[in-house]
Amino acid sequence: MKPAQFGMLSYPSRPGPASWIATARLLRRFQQGPIAYPHNLSEHQCADILVDRYMPSGLVLGTVVFIHGMSVLGREDPRVRQLAVALTAAGLQVLVPELPNIRNLRIERAQPSEVQSTLEQLAGDKDLVPTHHFALMAVSFSGVFALRAANSATLGPRISALCLIGGYYDVERVSDFLVNAKRADPYGRMLMVRSYFSEVEAENDAFHWHLERCIRNNAEEDEGWNLRSLLDEADAEQERLWQLLSDCGQRQRFLQKVIRAFGDDWSGYRVNLNFVNSKTPVFLLHGRGDRVIPPGESRRLSSQMSAQGIPNYLCITRFLSHGDSAIRLSQLPELYRLLRGFAWFISCIWR
282 in the same domain as 258: no
Domain boundary among 238, 263, 288: 263
- pLDDT of res. 321: 52
Instruction: Report d(CA 70, CA 73) in Å as an integer.
Output: 9
- pLDDT of res. 222: 63
202 in the same domain as 232: yes
254 in the same domain as 161: no
Half-sphere exposure of 86 (CA within 13 A, CB side): 20
237 in the same domain as 147: no
- pLDDT of res. 123: 95
Give the pLDDT means over successive 10-residue stretches in the chain (351 positions). 38 78 92 84 92 94 94 86 94 95 87 94 94 95 96 96 96 94 90 92 93 89 83 94 94 94 91 95 93 94 95 87 47 81 93 76
Domain boundary among 198, 232, 263: 263
159 in the same domain as 301: yes
Q: Is 242 inside any structural domain?
A: yes
How much is the CA Rg of the chain, to the nearest whole Å?
20
187 in the same domain as 166: no
160 in the same domain as 27: yes
Domain of 218, in residue numbers: 180-263
157 in the same domain as 281: yes
The 282-287 sheet, strands edge to edge: 4-6, 312-317, 282-287, 159-165, 134-139, 62-67, 92-97, 49-54, 41-46
37 Rama sector, left if φ>0, alpha if ψ -120 to 50, beta otherwise: beta
Domain boundary among 263, 287, 310: 263
- DSSP code per residue over 271-284: -----SSTT--EEE
200 in the same domain as 328: no
Count of the separate structural domains present in the chain: 2
255 in the same domain as 196: yes
286 in the same domain as 201: no
Q: Is 175 inside any structural domain?
A: no
- pLDDT of res. 319: 73
Instruction: Report d(CA 285, CA 195) in Å as an integer.
Output: 26
pTM of the full predicted structure? 0.90
- pLDDT of res. 36: 78
307 in the same domain as 194: no
- pLDDT of res. 3: 36
- pLDDT of res. 320: 65
Q: Is 344 inside any structural domain?
A: yes
Return the CATH number at 163. 3.40.50.1820
Q: Is 99 inside any structural domain?
A: yes
Instruction: Report d(CA 207, CA 240) in Å as an integer.
Output: 9
Pick from 58, 6, 4, 14: nearest CA to 343: 14
Residue count (the chain): 351
